[in-house]
Amino acid sequence: MRIDYLTLFPEMFETLNHSIMKRSQDKGIVTLNPVNFRAFSNNKHQQVDDYPYGGGQGMVLKPEPVFSAVQSLEVTEETRIILMCPQGERFDQAKAEELAHAEHLIFICGHYEGYDERIRTELVTDEISLGDFVLTGGELAAMTMTDAIVRLIPDVLGNEVSHEDDSFSSGLLEHPQYTRPADYNGLQVPAVLLSGNHKLIEEWRHHESLKRTYERRPDLLESYPLTAADIQYLQTLGYQE
């Protein structure tokens, strides 16, 4: 996968040159490329924004630098050009899994008040928001999405199934995890995890995922395919269909 970032602050993306993101680049699995679109300004002062027609507060990103920057990249019909925008579709695990199958992503990271509408209508394939809040720019959101997407690409985590039990991947929140020592200051690891009985362990983990989801994110249960046994267990916790 190749990911390009149109940004006015390419140095911010140094954050991605560490840990798993760095290893995935070193292994040639993904290429991450910040592009300063100020270099594509046709203004001698390299201006990339201007006042909005009709008046109003703030400055708006001009179309020319953004269009020219995208055109400088190897864009194909399969390229996903993503506008980071609070008006866009809310990013979630399902979207991360969808984008993890793409070969080329371009993130347009805005700043200032907004974008010239022609960028939105003529250039982008996806408008995505990280959540119902506003950031000063799209860089942090793009990096967060990159982490969520790249870790799903085969061989990035080193274990093909290591992400499958993550919260949201299965539709439920992840069950509790424990490691050694089995007794820490009187705090005991659940006995079932020490039993060696894999069937009982899987059942315990599933029940704990159901419990945690019911207690913390009951809205997720509305779309999860609950079995009769799941419903019976949840009813012991107070769940009502």
pTM: 0.88
- What residues are annotated to the active site? 86, 113, 151, 166
Whole-number pLDDT of residue 163:
56
Q: Write the single-letter amino acid at 45.
A: H
pLDDT score for 170: 82
C-alpha to C-alpha distance for 168 and 154, rounded to whole angstroms: 18
How does pLDDT run along the chain (241 residues), one tens digit per residue?
999 999 999 999 999 999 999 999 999 999 999 999 999 999 889 999 999 999 988 899 999 999 999 999 999 999 999 999 989 999 999 999 999 999 999 999 988 778 999 999 999 999 999 999 989 999 999 999 999 999 999 999 976 555 565 656 789 999 999 999 999 999 999 999 999 999 999 999 999 999 999 999 999 999 999 999 999 999 999 999 8
Q: So what's the pLDDT on residue 169?
A: 73
In the numeric block, the tokens 């201007």 are attached to 50
Query: Is the bond preceding 63 in cis, omega lying within 30 degrees of 0?
Result: no
Q: What is the pLDDT of residue 159?
A: 63
* Residue matched to tokens 């992840």: 174
